[in-house]
A and B are shown apart, each in its own frame.
Chain A
Amino acid sequence: MRTEPIPAPRPDPSAASARDHAPAPGTRSDANGPAEDLPLTGVRVIDVGTFLAGPYAASIMGEFGAEILKVEHPIAGDPMRRFGTGTSRPDTSLSWLSEARNRKSVTLDLRKPRGVELFLRLVAVSDVLIENFRPGVMEGWGLDWDRLSQAKSGLVMLRVSGFGQTGPYRHRSGFAHIAHAVGGLSYLAGFPGETPVVPGTAPLGDYMSSLYGAIGVLLALRDRERSGRGQVVDIGIYESVFRQMDEMAAVYALYGKVREREGAGTVIAVPHGHFRTSDDQWVAIACTTDKMFERLSEAMGRPELSSGDVYGHQQKRLAARADVNAIVEAWVGSLTRDEVMQLCISHQVPIGKLNSIADIFDDEQFAARDNLATVDVKGLGPVTVPAVVPRLSLTPGRITGLGPPLGNATTEVLRDLLGLAADEVAELRRHKIV
């Protein structure tokens, strides 16, 4: 599908290559922040993972000052380079550009002993190692925790896999799509009794695992400051998904109640769902409390609905779920999206548009918060990606560059960090070790 003029924020090409978000109130003026003054300045991270689960943790660390070395196979590189929508650069998909931000690419064949030896030398001068091979794969190359932690005392290692490093399923291959299913999320997405759908996007669990991974690494680095000792952070993607299932486990254990698919709504509140407007758009309305429903009743011009003997109490609304939803559906369906939004907002009802990506590029909040960052990529022109989250007032993150070409820093890293001479690098190249 092709839409007309793309309202992507375009940077002034003469400006800095990364257009980062504007400083929040009370911050210093240089939002990009000099790299030497960020929370992770001086921290070196090796990311030997593929796709997103784990590597996104490295991206976050890079946004906040760490140096990220992406170690990739010399021929294929990270398969994310070829996943999804491609670009005119053959080793570069859009996901790669966005999520391999702030990295240096170093090729190294870990299936060869000389590659393993060089890898250990890189580990020796790094602080954090991030991997997401199937459990046992790194051990098979001689890169077990004992050897790695000997190479670098105080090493922090993040290991993300479908099912974690232990347990009966540890050797099974896992993607976020499988983890959503195993972790209990996919079972809940869709209409009651109908086909369970993807819960929005397929790699959601990869992001979740990386967020937990980044937290684990930051905690371990903090512990290391005091104890001098490193450790392993072990995450199964399914666990990251399951951890977010609010009261589902507790309710089942206590009352034997199995949560089922809830369509566009939720079991715990009404009206709390998605409603279609007269111009065939969708809005989300969330009346979590009685007060919110009272405001909605006023916005609908039917304040009597929120009286105690009608639908004023959540319990009554839940008992009359279909009727309450029908009232809201009829009202929303009689107005355009803009009209519904305006009425709800003026009455302080929690409402939002179901934004498509086209809507998002048009949304004044996204623009005001600079949630879209546009970076000029050599040979590809301007590329727009999500800006840094979270936003820190004193040390905001930065995007120094998007996903690099395969091996763009191999020579530099081998020379500067490992002290190899040019002819040594050439020989490694000849033997396809780098």
Chain B
Amino acid sequence: MGEVSERCGLPLDGVTVIDVATVIAAPYCAAILGEFGADVIKVEHPVGGDPCRRFGTPGSRGDTLTWLSEARNKKSVTLDLHHPKGAAMFTELIAQADVLCENFRPGTLERWGVGWDKLSAINPGLVMLRVSGYGQTGPYRDRPGFARIAHAVGGLSYLAGMPRGTPVTPGSTTLGDYLSGLYGCIGVLLALRYREGTGTGQFIDLGLYESVFRCTDELVPAYAMFGTVRQRHGPHVQHSCPYGHFPTRDGKWVAIACATDKLFARLAEAMDRPELASSSVYGEQRVRLANREDVNEIVRDWCGSLDRDEILERCYAARAPAGPLNSIADIFGDRQFHARRNMIAMEEEQGNETVMVPNVVPRLSRTPGRIDSLGPTLGQHTDQVLTEVLGLSGDDIAALRAERVI
């Protein structure tokens, strides 16, 4: 990113986002908006702030590395919304904002007197992203929700693990948060576009479980039409073979994905056994699926006879779809990640350390995103924002601080 030396305007220049959410789900939406030009003001409770500051591995400043990475480009303003003065100041901030991101349990903002009805009356063009475990409606709306619960409820966790074994975490416990941030961001961008023509804002109502559930390919129609209840398939998948993870001689793993007969023919070539791809042997997916165990055993034997890098070289040469199961150590040594600058080193000044964070995705050719700063310290921009945006004086701010409103 940032190949252009002078920055042309970014798509969201001039857009102000208030992020009063916590942890990753809705805040990740705000982070993307910030990467592409929006001014993002993170509103946090004066004591402790966003729990994301404490959830995970701390850096030397004390805030976690997740916070430093995912609160990128944000300004931190403390404000106690439980306090009537805090709620009033929040309302004034919203009056001047374009987007509000929140993920309290449904009804919380309403209890503080800053629900949708109130805020949209003050700012009719407001776009409000509301993320919660189960959405704003339905019988479960009041239940607490985290991504782990969303993975379970949305049907993903049931599918991760060895057949009949304990279902495992589908790789990462925060996937559903990121997915919700992405869906939320799409919703906000759509709503901003609609507002351009009409001047009218709206809210986006997203349950974490819905983001996960939406990504389950044919699970729904297959059950509705044929009653198929998909189960765990371990390292493999149900519709293609060989398609899975295979151990190599040096104790590492490769992923192989022969989604079509053509791709299997290439693998057979990589294995020096082109006869396997003839139609009288395993040339057809249907036949391979019927002989799944035998086919997997052939591939497993081959993978086990060579080191990972040799397997991959042969697959690449034959254009068979394969890749390493990278650990984070592998990723740091991977040429593609370096060539694409997928990680970027940022200086964290207060703790005097360099923090490596994932770079902006997606990559836009003309208006690439930016990371100007890592997650701020708690209340780092309180004085600045209250002065510049709300026009408060130094005395006003001191009084609010004494009252613990900020």
Contact = CB atoms under 8 A, between A and B. Distances in A.
B2 to A, nearest CB: 14
A60 B211 CA distance: 13
A30 B367 CA distance: 37
B287 interface: no
A83 B237 CA distance: 13
Nearest to B141: A365
Interface stretch (A124-132, A136-144, A195-203, A409-417): A195-203
A226 B186 contact: no
Contacts of B167: 264, 274, 282, 354
A68 interface: no
A84 to B, nearest CB: 5
Contacts of B363: 164, 216, 233-235, 239
B339 A202 contact: no
A425 interface: no
Contacts of B153: 284, 352-353, 355, 363, 365
A177 B257 contact: yes
A4 B223 CA distance: 11
Most chain B CB atoms below 10 A, which of A169, A221, A232, A389:
A389
A353 to B, nearest CB: 6
Interface stretch (A108-116, A297-305, A367-375): A367-375
A215 B358 contact: no
A187 B325 contact: yes
Chain A: number of interface residues, binned into ranges:
35 or more
A356 interface: yes
Interface string B145-161: 11011111111111111
Contacts of A354: 152, 157-158, 167
Nearest to B184: A390
A254 interface: yes
A107 to B, nearest CB: 20
A369 B245 contact: no
B220 A201 contact: no
Nearest to A390: B187
Nearest to B154: A355
A97 B193 CA distance: 28
Interface in A342-383: 345, 348-361, 363-366, 368-369, 371-372, 374, 382-383
B361 A243 contact: yes
Interface in B118-170: 133-140, 143-146, 148-162, 166-170
Contact of B140 (A257, A365, A386, A391): A365
Contacts of A48: none
A359 B213 CA distance: 13
A147 interface: no
Contacts of A391: 135, 187, 204-206, 210
Interface in B265-314: none
B171 interface: yes
Nearest to A213: B362
Interface in B340-355: 340, 342-343, 345, 353-355
A77 interface: no
A265 interface: yes
B65 A247 contact: yes
Given A178-B255, A350-B146, A249 B186 contact: no
Of B169, B182, B353, the most chain A CB neighbours within 10 A belong to B169
A211 B225 contact: no
Contact of A166 (B9, B196, B232, B340): B340
Interface in A181-202: 181-191, 195-202
B190 interface: yes
Interface in B17-56: 24, 32, 36, 51, 55-56
Nearest to A402: B221
Nearest to A275: B166
Nearest to A38: B194
Given A181-B325, A218-B193, A249-B358, 18 more contacts: A24-B136, A84-B218, A85-B226, A172-B323, A188-B172, A197-B234, A218-B189, A223-B367, A235-B362, A245-B172, A253-B332, A274-B169, A276-B166, A282-B157, A350-B149, A365-B207, A368-B139, A391-B204
